[in-house]
Amino acid sequence: MILPFILLCISSLYCFSVSYGEFCDAITQNQGPHPTMEQYSSFVRSAEKFAISDKRELAMVLSQLLWESDRLRTKEEYGCDNNKCLNTYFDGIGDPSKAYHGRGYIQLTWGSNYLKASESLYGNRRLLENPDLVCNVDQIAWDVSFWFWKTVVQVQPGVTDGCFGASTKAINGNLECNGYNEKAVKRFLMYKIVFDTFNITGNPNESGCYN
């Protein structure tokens, strides 16, 4: 009887390394709205799906997603709803009548990236054919964001060593990592708050972007 209980505990939200309380504090102390249990549950499922269990890395992931999504306030690029950015991100892949602007908590853009994410997550073209799924379905918004982290960010030197700046460089290095940059600094300050609310031992590592 003990083994089934342990297995159930391992797959339970309550045994996840980040508690709902820590998740809430990380967001609200960064001036974001109080998150729903659905958001937390989706965050946990995505983390488990992509085998990210290290609390420090989860703090880095959440911090970057908070910055990219205006503290989880939006899953769609501001000013691009109702196809207002129809031609802005069209790269010849997908349907020219559909807009491939930023969606999800990490703001997936360009048809080619919608296609890669869709094929990796589902083995088909569903996100290319219906890109609004990324902003309309919360679990998909998290899954796409964790997929981006796993395939684009995590593989960069320094990220798994806890260098937060290295993750910023992987996400937006061309704009934020050529010397001191206020936005990159604000990303790190956000991470410091998440780091503390997650009760992680040690100190957050700023290196990898502008230093």
Q: Which residues contact 77 (CB under 8 A, 6 or more apart)?
A: 85, 101, 102, 103, 107, 109
Where in the sequence is the domain holding 89, given as residue range(s)? 81-135
Residue 6 falls inside a structural domain? no
Residue 99 falls inside a structural domain? yes
Q: 6 in helix, strand or coil?
A: helix
Q: Do the Cβ atoms of 134 and 140 come closer than 8 Å?
A: yes
Residue 106 falls inside a structural domain? yes
Residue 111 falls inside a structural domain? yes
Q: What is d(CA 135, CA 141) in angstroms, rounded to the nearest whole number? A: 6
pLDDT in tens, the chain (211 residues): 444 433 334 444 546 889 999 999 999 999 999 999 999 999 999 999 999 999 999 999 999 999 999 999 999 999 998 889 998 999 999 999 999 999 999 999 999 999 999 999 999 999 999 999 999 999 999 999 999 999 999 999 999 999 999 999 999 999 999 999 999 999 999 999 999 999 999 999 999 999 8
Q: What is d(CA 177, CA 166) in angstroms, rounded to the nearest whole number? A: 9
Across 43-143, the runs of DSSP E, i.e. the strands, are none
Residue 121 falls inside a structural domain? yes
Residues tagged active-site: 68
pLDDT at residue 153, rounded to an integer = 97
Q: Is the dihedral of CA 68, 47, 99, 96 positive or negative?
A: positive
DSSP assignment, residue 203?
-
Residue 86 falls inside a structural domain? yes
Q: What is d(CA 211, CA 201) in angstroms, rounded to the nearest whole number? A: 23
pLDDT at residue 26, rounded to an integer = 98
Q: What is the CATH number of the domain that holds 110?
A: 3.30.20.10
Chain segment 40-52, per-residue pLDDT in tens: 999 999 999 999 9
Structural domain count of the chain: 1
Residue 33 falls inside a structural domain? no
pLDDT at residue 82, rounded to an integer = 86
Give the max Cα distance, the chain: 59
pLDDT at residue 16, rounded to an integer = 86
Residue 169 falls inside a structural domain? no
pLDDT at residue 136, rounded to an integer = 97
Q: What is d(CA 50, CA 45) in angstroms, rounded to the nearest whole number? A: 9
pTM of the model: 0.91
